[in-house]
Structure 1
Amino acid sequence: MKVVKFGGSSLANGTQFRKVANIILADKERRIVVVSAPGKRHENDIKTTDLLINLADSITNGGNESLALNGVLERFAVIIRELELNDNLLTSIENHLNELIDFYRNDEARLLDALKASGENQNAKIMAAFLSNLGEEAHYVSPKEAGMIVTDQPGNARILPEAYGEIQKLRNRSGILVIPGFFGYSKLGNIVTFPRGGSDISGSIIAAGVEAEEYENFTDVDSVYSVNPNLVENPHEMKEISYQEMRELAYSGFSVFHDEALQPVVIKKIPVTVKNTNHPEAPGTRIVSRRSPNGQPVVGIASDKDFCSINITKYLMNTEVGFGRHLLEILEDEGISFEHTPSGIDNMSVIIKSHHFENGKEERVLHRIKTELSVEDVQVERNLAMVMVVGEGMFKTLGVASKATVALSEAGVNIKMINQGSSEVSMMFGVDEKDVDLAVKSLYHAYFTAVEEPTKA
């Protein structure tokens, strides 16, 4: 059994739906299908999820509710007409949306979650209906029926351990099962959405729950590239990558996978294949527990922005028992998670996402650090970006770090900090945000551009 997930660009219109149906039917092992909401049909289009968010906002803030609702319905209507499905399907979608609006109208957070989830939910019904129309045995399965039992915090669903036993029962179902991604149901019966990358999370959870042979994730690229393809021409394609490498790259800004989406399949060691809906014959990129060595120490380079650094100095800091614990407790009290903590004997830096310092948190944190830790100096450095060089082969290869520092130096990029995890799967470089693209390009060319041999006389 394979679990196959299709992203929004794969389901943007009727033409894409037909491609998806052909992919599903080309492999009888593709028995469970997880779908996203319809994505953009062209560059200036609006995603269905954004239309639904606009609808929720119109209801909450007294906007033109009817106009917003019609915008959502028209998006589904176009797909239904293109697929030549019964108009009763659109009526059912309209009735369901109105029921959600009536039920959650006075609960802003629940209304937003319920409407956001409707993009995936209704798209799954359309896909099941289309497959049935082609003569296949296909069933729409709601996340509640599938056993997607989650926590109850709106917009931040987490799967509960008991869900996996329920999800495993899907193996006993016949036909093709079409399940909407992005959300589950709490024990109180509420619709609760996952954070960003939610449909990928759903697909991963279901693949782990049914112990699938493989989890195929279809998107709009032939494979995962070693760098942002918008930065370099003809970027290197990764044929195989390990879970750990993908986790590091996803955390650092790779848009193919949200870093939380891999966790369920990692635990079960289920291989993931990223493939292209528009070019399904391409082999794609396989994400596996252990990959075969290919002689290349670095597999990818990624970057992310909007960081700041809390830089702390105190003489004999290294001799003060509990200093680091006390510092992190201050952050914990404010609900702030940290990204990196490079340190020296008398200084320590804590890297956090900039948004954590909003709503007065910065002032409170700095005041507590000064008064409770009696530091000599504490400063905040802003507008930082983190560049991550990732590859399991790095720890066995000499000169990887020096190649990076030379490349950055020659490009004129000032390195603000360097950090390497104990697993030696990644190296992190902190740079000014304005230099981040230049840093990524210089590192990519250092590791992936072949050096031409000089012409012999």
Structure 2
Amino acid sequence: MKVVKFGGSSLATGEQFDKVVNIIRADPERQVIVTSAPGKRNKADVKVTDLLIQYAQQVLAQQDFSTTVAQITNRYQDISDHFALPATTLQTITHKLGALATTTFADDDHLMADFKAHGELLNAILLAAVLNEQAIPAKFLDPRDAGFLVDGEPNNADVLDETYLNLSHLSLSGARIVFPGFFGYSPSGDIYTFTRGGSDITGAILSRGFKADLYENFTDVDAIYTVDNHIVPHPAVISKMSYREMRELSYAGFSVFQDEAIIPAVQGQVPVNVKNTNNPTAPGTLIVPEQFLFNPANPITGIACSDRFSALYLHRYLLNKEIGFTLKLLEIFQRYGISYEHMPSGIDDLTIIFDQSKLDSATIKALCHDIRETLKPDYLEWIDDYAIIMVVGEGIAHTVDTMGKVIDSLTQHGIAIQMINQGASRISIMIGTQRKDAAAAVRHIYDTFFVKSEV
């Protein structure tokens, strides 16, 4: 049995629905289908989720929302008309959409979560109707009826373990199940959404809960590439990779999955196949649980970079002999509610790397002040100009010269390395550079391991 998730671009128009229907029809093993909300039809278009957020904001501000509701309705109307569905389907969608404005919610966060979730909810209802109209027996399954339970915050949900037990009791025989992504229900019955892109998370949860043989994630790309194609044109395709390679690369900017999206599939040991709705016969990229999968001919699987980081550099003589220095530093972070990403150190030096998107200038200023007052460093510098490059591959752990080749590829082109670290798993090498050098660094590393290896 396969769980299949379709992204927003795959479900944006009637023509795209045609492709989805053909993909589902082509394989009877595709028994559980997870929907996203309709995405953009073109670059100037607006996603339905963004229209629903606008609708919610207008309701909260007591503004006229009729135009926004009409825009949302028209998106589903166009798809319904494409398949000449009975009027009852759109009536159901219209009723649910209109009822949002008159529903009482516990607070604004609960309202926003409920509104946002309806993009996926309504699209699942619509896809089930389309499949039945196309002689593919299907039924819409509401997460409430499936026992898909979550907790956390209304707009940042976490799945409850009870969900997996509930899913294991559901029968998958007969009609295909169409399941809306992105949200679940709290134990009190409120809709909670995952973070944006949460339909990937839903698909992974269902894959684990139903003990699927494969989780197919259909997007608008043929495969996962070894590097961002905006940095290296026409990069090599990754045909197969391990879960932990995917996690390492996602952390540094790979955008196919959010970092946490794949975790339920990892826990359930379910292989994930990333495929293209617009080219479904392409093999795509297979993400597998084997932890020691590697290509002896090329130890590198992928290269990713991100410039969302900042660093705090501390220098103090005899730092290595001072007991409790790091503890005091961590206590300061705790007071500010700050987590750090990495902390490479030397005998007199310490660099702490942060996700800059989680900090503001006032917090940074206050944080540096408290560190100076408490720890009395000889030198302290906050570095905003920081990018991190991740070189990832299971084969790194099995070769002795990979680190040297990475360093040579940068130093030979005059790129300064501000930090370099190999993780305990030995499958990734982390490099810190100035932001202006990040793209060039990725290109030079790619040329060393992929272009030259192909000659």
Q: Aligning the two structures, in what range does the TM-score lie when normalised by the shorter sequence?
A: over 0.9
1:227 aligned counterpart, secondary structure: coil
Q: What is the match of residue 409 of structure 1?
A: 411
Match for residue 333 of structure 2 among 324, 331, 334: 331
Relative to structure 1, the CA distance from residue 452 to residue 89 in structure 2 (aligned partners, 3 Å threshold; closer, same or farther) is closer
Q: What is the match of residue 256 of structure 2?
A: 256
Q: What is the match of residue 368 of structure 2?
A: 366
Q: What pairs up with 1:37-436 in 2 under 5 angstroms?
A: 37-104=37-104, 107-290=107-290, 292-295=293-296, 296-358=298-360, 360-436=362-438
Relative to structure 1, the CA distance from residue 234 to residue 152 in structure 2 (aligned partners, 3 Å threshold; closer, same or farther) is closer
Matching residue's letter, 2:47 = K
Residue-by-residue CA offset, 1:362-407 (whole Å, 9 max, x unaligned): 2332222222223223221003111110001012213211222222
- For residue 234 of structure 1, report the CA deviation from its aligned partner: 2.1
- For residue 105 of structure 1, report the CA deviation from its aligned partner: 6.6
1:449 aligned counterpart, secondary structure: helix
- For residue 62 of structure 1, report the CA deviation from its aligned partner: 4.5
Whether the aligned pair in 1 keeps the contact of 2:19 and 2:278 (CA below 8 Å) is yes
1:170 aligned counterpart, secondary structure: coil
TM-score relative to the length of structure 1: 0.95
Deviates most, 356-365 or 69-78: 356-365
2:352 aligned counterpart, secondary structure: strand
Whether the aligned pair in 2 keeps the contact of 1:128 and 1:139 (CA below 8 Å) is yes
Q: Distance in 1 between matches of 2:410 and 2:361?
A: 36
Q: What is the match of residue 10 of structure 1?
A: 10
- For residue 254 of structure 1, report the CA deviation from its aligned partner: 0.5
2:103 aligned counterpart, secondary structure: helix
- For residue 63 of structure 1, report the CA deviation from its aligned partner: 4.2
Relative to structure 1, the CA distance from residue 104 to residue 426 in structure 2 (aligned partners, 3 Å threshold; closer, same or farther) is farther
Deviates most, 356-365 or 75-84: 356-365
Residue-by-residue CA offset, 1:248-269 (whole Å, 9 max, x unaligned): 0111111111110111111121
- For residue 450 of structure 1, report the CA deviation from its aligned partner: 2.5
- For residue 61 of structure 1, report the CA deviation from its aligned partner: 3.3
Residue-by-residue CA offset, 1:191-241 (whole Å, 9 max, x unaligned): 111013211001000100111111111111111110112222221011110
Q: Distance in 2 between matches of 1:281 and 1:417?
A: 42
Deviates most, 327-336 or 197-206: 327-336
Whether the aligned pair in 2 keeps the contact of 1:128 and 1:140 (CA below 8 Å) is yes
- For residue 442 of structure 1, report the CA deviation from its aligned partner: 1.5
Q: Distance in 2 between matches of 1:419 and 1:51?
A: 43
Relative to structure 1, the CA distance from residue 269 to residue 105 in structure 2 (aligned partners, 3 Å threshold; closer, same or farther) is closer
Provide runs of 4+ in structure 1 moved above 4 Å.
none
- For residue 294 of structure 1, report the CA deviation from its aligned partner: 2.2
Q: Distance in 1 between matches of 2:405 and 2:38?
A: 43
How large is the Cα RMSD of the aligned pairs?
1.8
2:448 aligned counterpart, secondary structure: helix
- For residue 116 of structure 1, report the CA deviation from its aligned partner: 1.1
Q: Distance in 2 between matches of 1:447 and 1:243?
A: 21
Deviates most, 430-439 or 337-346: 430-439
TM-score relative to the length of structure 2: 0.95
- For residue 152 of structure 1, report the CA deviation from its aligned partner: 4.0
Whether the aligned pair in 1 keeps the contact of 2:207 and 2:268 (CA below 8 Å) is no
- For residue 452 of structure 1, report the CA deviation from its aligned partner: 7.9
Q: Distance in 2 between matches of 1:452 and 1:282?
A: 22
Relative to structure 1, the CA distance from residue 452 to residue 93 in structure 2 (aligned partners, 3 Å threshold; closer, same or farther) is closer
Residue-by-residue CA offset, 1:73-124 (whole Å, 9 max, x unaligned): 1111111111211232222222212222222478321222111111111000
1:123 aligned counterpart, secondary structure: helix
Unaligned ranges ≥5, structure 1: none
Matching residue's letter, 1:396 = H
- For residue 136 of structure 1, report the CA deviation from its aligned partner: 2.4
Whether the aligned pair in 2 keeps the contact of 1:208 and 1:265 (CA below 8 Å) is yes
Whether the aligned pair in 1 keeps the contact of 2:11 and 2:39 (CA below 8 Å) is yes
Matching residue's letter, 1:443 = I
Whether the aligned pair in 1 keeps the contact of 2:343 and 2:352 (CA below 8 Å) is yes
Whether the aligned pair in 2 keeps the contact of 1:306 and 1:383 (CA below 8 Å) is no
Matching residue's letter, 2:339 = S
Whether the aligned pair in 2 keeps the contact of 1:270 and 1:288 (CA below 8 Å) is yes
Whether the aligned pair in 1 keeps the contact of 2:31 and 2:172 (CA below 8 Å) is no
Whether the aligned pair in 1 keeps the contact of 2:305 and 2:388 (CA below 8 Å) is yes
Relative to structure 1, the CA distance from residue 393 to residue 98 in structure 2 (aligned partners, 3 Å threshold; closer, same or farther) is same
Aligned residues: 453
Q: Distance in 1 between matches of 2:215 and 2:454?
A: 39
2:311 aligned counterpart, secondary structure: strand
Deviates most, 192-201 or 83-92: 83-92
Unaligned ranges ≥5, structure 2: none
Relative to structure 1, the CA distance from residue 452 to residue 217 in structure 2 (aligned partners, 3 Å threshold; closer, same or farther) is closer
